[in-house]
Structure 1
Amino acid sequence: MHITSKAAVATAAASFWVQLAAAQATCSNVTAEKTYDYIIVGSGAGGIPLADRLSEAGKTVLLIEKGPPSTGRWGGTMKPDWLNGTSLTRFDVPGLCNQIWADPTGVSCTDVDQMAGCVLGGGTAVNAGLWWKPHPEDWDVNFPTGWQSKDLVEATGKVFGRIPGTIAPSVDGVRYLSQGFDMLGGSLKAAGWEYVVANNNPEKKNRTYGHSTFMYSGGERGGPLATYLVNAASRPSFTLWTHTIAKRVVRTGGLATGVEVECNGGGHAGVVSVTPKTGRVILAAGSFGSAKLLWRSGIGTVDQLNIVKNSTDGPTMISSDQWINLPVGYNLNDHVGTDIEISHPDVVFYDYYGAWKNPIPEDKEKYLSARIGPLAQAAPNIGPIFWETIKGADGVNRHFHWQSRVEGTLNTSMTVTQYLGTGSTSRGRLTITRQLNTIVSTPPYLRTDNDKAAVVQSLINLQKVLAPVQGLSWITPKPNVTAEQFIASVPAIPARRGSNHWTGTAKIGTDDGRTNGTAVVDLNTKVYGTENLFVVDASIFPGMITANPSAAIVIVSEHAAKKILALPA
């Protein structure tokens, strides 16, 4: 039963935080007596909804997060001085969301070569909060039977019933500093593109544009941390450990019996066990974290498992005769990001980075007293967003999402990023080092000619849209550089093309990877060759989607919870 009273929610969260703070203050050894029906590793868009749904079903659930608390609701403490004396942290305030790029210490993961959030909430605690429903083809093109758009109607309804999203984050409903949207949105409209409210029209993703949709609520970061986790925390069957690193899944053959954990500036150490005979382990640590855990647990290709064997894990690693050979790390994908920069005299820049130390006094007061103003909006003033579909010579529809923001080399600049999503055919690979860090060894960007051609064509189309706009200047690419030349000049590496929307390293499918297939998990998200080990996060995505990943992952988590609960004990 869900909590509906706001007072009850606040009381439950406060009580839970007191217990959590006491538990994380020092390192605690795990006691052998306590077991859990479900151990979930990773508290992001996959793990939090699972914890809610499984505890709601009466199961005992342990949710493990390697990092610290994030938002103030859960005892987070990271904040600028002007938030002292409030319950807010840097993660709560939408206008501070980009601070991770200026100061990632204690927030970003240190064991991956890309930016990722290692705090309670994962990516949903550090991202810009973009939140819209997937296009039906996001599921129908990429996902297998049982995971098509028609199968996900119920899960989608539950997710957006819980977190509806908003196109006007400031509590007063005003969209502040809309000059960039007005200029670029007006240009799209003049070119015949249709304005849509994204979550009312998920299937309209071709030559359409709209205001950005966010998961914010009440002028603060909302999302899973403010909904699913609050409900889970109200139940005595739910336990949360922060500051706790999951080292490996402890298993005998295909049976997972628990998880070995280590303290991370507090938290817990030892082996925590699942309920004998019926207990299950679910990895929800993201495309990097879940892959790493599988490798450290003796699941993956032999070359990667040998690297782990020759690392500090060697003495405690499961013996090679119990390794499970699956293509973990392959099928790596990310949105191909291509930045262009334009300038127009109507555009007004707002210094969100400067607001970390010295917010404009009037804007600070508006935000603290009423949750209104520019600080209630995501940095750096994102919008419009717009979409286009391009059919390639191979007959494949490639979906593009363009995302605008007011920042660049001039105070009148807008940076507009093109993201290639559903329909992309390029893939890469993730691997592990002897230091147990994960690295993108093969970038997944523009590795096929048809992907490249579609990216070029989409840029050409935008150039045509903006050609008639009076006063608009092209900064990147320069006016004398063709789209083809520009796309060819930008290296296809994460530093230049990365979007940090990583997917695919533990692919879902019916073609068992142990017998020359490509899948790591089956249609119930259970790891092939195991009895009770599951993966539920973006790593199971077979292909890239056009939707923002957070919403899609929560939908996947809702659907997976139903499937897992339906399995025989």
Structure 2
Amino acid sequence: MAKTFALVAAAASLIHSVTAQCTTAPNQTYDYIVIGSGAGGIPVADRLSEAGHSVLLLEKGPPSSGRWNGTMKPAWLEGTNLTRFDVPGLFNQIWRDSNGVACEDTGVMAGCVLGGGVAVNSALWWKPPTRDWDVNFPEGWKSADMKSSVDKVFQRIPGTDTPSQDGIRYNQEGFERISEGLDAAGFKQVKPNEQSEEKNMTYGHSTFFIENAERQGPLRTYLETAAARSQFSLWTNTMARRVVRTGGRATGVELQCRNGAGFNGTVNVTPGTGRVIVSAGTMGSAKVLFRSGIGPTDMLNVVKKSPIDNETMISEDQWINLPVGYNLNDHVGTDIQVAHPDIRFYDFYKAYNTPIQTDVDAYLANRTGMLTTVAPNLGPIIWTEVTPSDGRTRSIQWQARVEGRTNTSMTITQYLGTGSISRGRLDITPQLNTRVVTVPYLRNATDKEAVIMGIEHMRGVLNGVANLTWVTPTAEQNTTTFVNSIPAALASRNSNHWVGSCTIGPANDGTAVVDLDTKVYGMDNLFVVDASIFPGITTGNPSAAIVSVAEKAAARILALKGTESEDGDV
């Protein structure tokens, strides 16, 4: 316990000292500069600093968790070291109030605070099944190659399906009613991360990276150990405008301070051996590369002609033409909704400003009660597989939550995952905002066929629950008609699990942005490590897979000889 407090104290001091005002970057070099403090950037920075290298981690947003000097919180958390990001019952508040939290330049929801997605998401934590690696990733990144990295991640962050410290799961009526239909239809209840390969005709309680009924994950593991090292530095409120490079050699990162804090100017890597790692997420990493003169020519011309970068854009003779922004993917989200008289809605949104006092008391005193429940009371989580007419199996994850049109409703989202074929594209505007220009939803006919097959099956399963009624689709509505009635658009299909804009691949053949060491093609010392390198979407929420990729990437980057030090030793 004393060690934990020491780590937290060191971390708080670290952030406070570098975010007090907007200042010019010091004349200091770093062996590694990591752009972005999400599920990719934090573990990479930790592993590189652990290996003895000087590491600077950049985050464009402010601190999030109270343990990192975050300040965004409701009144009832004043006087505690907790913020809105720490308390499970407040996680869903981002969909009601994302001011100062969400990125303003991505076109879709993304977290621009310390921790990125793992600071603002629902903390769902799934061990990736082997199929996610074997279907999606190239040789060298298959399940056998990833096992060691995945094991390391789950040793540090095992997750829990009982966040409350009294071991009670609260308001489980929704879980119980849905489970009745699943059991009758032959589904098997599993402990998801102990039986991670069982992803067909199974269900279980949601698993979260929560500890002591507070958000944990990379912010409470990898970042704490990194912050305890003298060779690690963290700058928040500091945006990376672009990677400064000469040809294929990155020499530093140009910065822009934000929120009246952070750093301006340019920070440089160690001459001859330093490296830059871009870990700004699927939207953010693409933007950094575009502004650095790396990407399709049409996008680089947009940046060149923009009112912001027209004078600082690298010259055209140094542009690197790579398919940045292509292969964009996300889970296809399709909501169905049912109602049952036993279901009870708990108003987690109201709990932000006007909570039930007994629930506040239980949480603050004992870390028990409804506010330990991840809003809006998720579960069960269900897995099925379907194989449409093309013979390619699709994995589906179903996420139920107690929320809907009435106080007795549950919404169940179907996530079409591993095996899906449809892809999209993101681009950049003259204002230098990224956006989804081609949505990746159901562009392939057999992907839509898979969605229809999955929903038709689930309708039959849930029809076995006594007193359950259908809200949408209605009981009389044809499944195909229902699916066709939902536009393949961001507003109706977005699951916000974006991957793929900087794809990994074994050859510079126009389909990949980074090689098997995550190094950008055409560059000597520039890497991308985050969800953007995923060739395809995962079965379920990808947080654990991203951290696993970061573990693997750090090992591969450190193994590259001849660049870590003068004599080439790691």
Fold agreement, TM-score > 0.5: yes
Q: Which residue of 1 aligns with 2:566?
A: none
Q: Secondary structure at the match of 2:13?
A: helix
In structure 1, the partner of 2:62 is 68
Offset of residue 185 of structure 1:
1.4
What are the within-5 Å matches in structure 2 for residues 127-526 of structure 1? 127-265=121-259, 266-311=261-306, 312-513=308-509, 517-526=510-519
CA distance in 1, matches of 2:540, 2:252: 34
The separation in 1 between residues aligned to 2:244 and 2:501, in whole angstroms, is 21
Distance 2:522 2:318 in 1: 10
In structure 1, give the amino acid aligned to 2:250.
Answer: A
- Count of aligned positions: 560
Letter in 1 for 2:539: T
Shift in Å, 1:81: 0.3
What SS is found at the alignment partner of 1:31? coil
Q: Distance in 2 between matches of 1:66 and 1:302?
A: 26
Any conservation in 1 of the 2:14–2:233 contact (CA below 8 Å)?
A: no
Q: What 5-or-longer segments of structure 2 have no aligned partner?
A: 564-570
Q: Give the drift of 1:547.
A: 3.0
Comparing 51-60 and 19-28, the one that deviates more: 19-28
Kindly state the Cα deviation for residue 12 of structure 1 after the two structures are TM-superposed.
2.5
C-alpha deviation, 1:181, in angstroms: 0.4
Code of the aligned partner of 2:276: V
Instruction: Verify the 8 A CA contact 1:9 1:231 in the aligned structure 2.
Output: no
Aligned equivalent of 1:3: none
SS of 1:98 mapped into structure 2: helix
What is the CA distance between 1:511 and its match in structure 2? 2.8
1:135–1:547 CA contact under 8 A, matched in 2: no
Deviation at 1:31, TM superposition (A): 2.2
Please give the alpha-carbon distance, in whole angstroms, between the structure 2 residues aligned to 1:218 and 1:458. Answer: 36
**Residue 548 in 1 paired to residue 541 in 2?**
yes
Cα pair 1:297 1:317 within 8 Å, conserved: yes
Task: Tell me the alpha carbon deviations over residues 143-199 of structure 1, each in whole angstroms, 9 at most, x when there is no partner.
Answer: 000100000111011000000000101111100011100110121011110001110
Deviations 1:111-163 (A, max 9, x none): 01111100000000000000010111100001000100000111011000000
Shift of 1:9: 2.3
Q: Check whether the contact 1:135–1:203 (CA below 8 A) recurs between aligned residues.
A: yes
- What amino acid is the match of 1:309? K
- SS of alignment partner, residue 112 of structure 1: coil
* Matched residue, 2:44: 50
Deviation at 1:28, TM superposition (A): 1.3
State the TM-score, normalized to the length of structure 1: 0.98
Structure-2 separation of matches of 1:405 and 1:19: 38
Q: What is the aligned-residue RMSD (CA, Å)? A: 0.7
Q: 1:90-105 maps to which residues of 2 (within 5 A)?
A: 90-105=84-99
Cα distance in 2 between the residues matched to 1:63 and 1:300: 24
Taking the aligned partners of 1:114 and 1:23, their CA distance within structure 2 comes to 29
Distance of 1:197 and 1:14 partners within structure 2: 36
> AA paired with 2:517?
N
SS of 1:552's equivalent? Answer: helix
Tell me how far apart the structure 2 counterparts of residues 126 and 173 of structure 1 sit (CA, whole Å).
24
Q: Distance in 2 between matches of 1:175 and 1:430?
A: 40
2:113 is the counterpart of 1:80: no
What is the CA deviation profile of residues 334-367 of structure 1, one whole-angstrom value per residue up to 9, with x for unaligned ones?
0000001100011111010010011111111000
SS in 2 for 1:203: coil
Give 2:443's aligned amino acid: R
Deviation of 1:234 after TM superposition, in Å, equals 0.3
Report the alpha carbon displacement of residue 22 of structure 1 after superposing the two structures with TM: 2.8
Distance in structure 2 (CA, Å) of the matches to 1:395 and 1:89: 48
- 1:11 aligns with one of 6, 21, 25: 6
Q: Is the 8 A contact 1:24 1:242 kept in 2?
A: yes
Q: What's the offset of the Cα at 1:13? A: 2.0
CA distance in 2, matches of 1:169, 1:541: 30
Equivalent residue, structure 2, for 1:118: 112
Amino acid at match of 1:558: E
Aligned partner of 2:47: which letter?
R
User: How much identity, in percent, do the aligned residues show?
Assistant: 60
Deviations 1:461-498 (A, max 9, x none): 00110112211110011112111001000000111000
Residue in 1 that maps onto 2:529: 536
Q: Distance in 1 between matches of 2:13 and 2:466?
A: 58
What is the aligned partner in structure 2 of residue 567 from structure 1?
560
Q: Aligned-pair distance for 1:323? A: 0.1
| CA displacement 1:485-524 (0-9 Å, x = unmatched) | 01000000111000000000000001314xxx20000000
Question: Does structure 2 retain, via aligned residues, the 8 Å contact 1:138–1:547?
Answer: no
On the 8 A contact 2:102/2:111 being kept in 1, the answer is yes
Please give the alpha-carbon distance, in whole angstroms, between the structure 2 residues aligned to 1:340 and 1:136: 28
The secondary structure found in structure 2 opposite 1:240 is strand
For 1:403, the aligned partner's letter is Q
SS of 1:115's equivalent? coil
Provide structure 1 residue ranges, at least 5 long, that are not aligned to the other structure.
1-5
Which amino acid in 2 is paired with 1:264?
R
TM-score, structure 2 length as denominator? 0.98
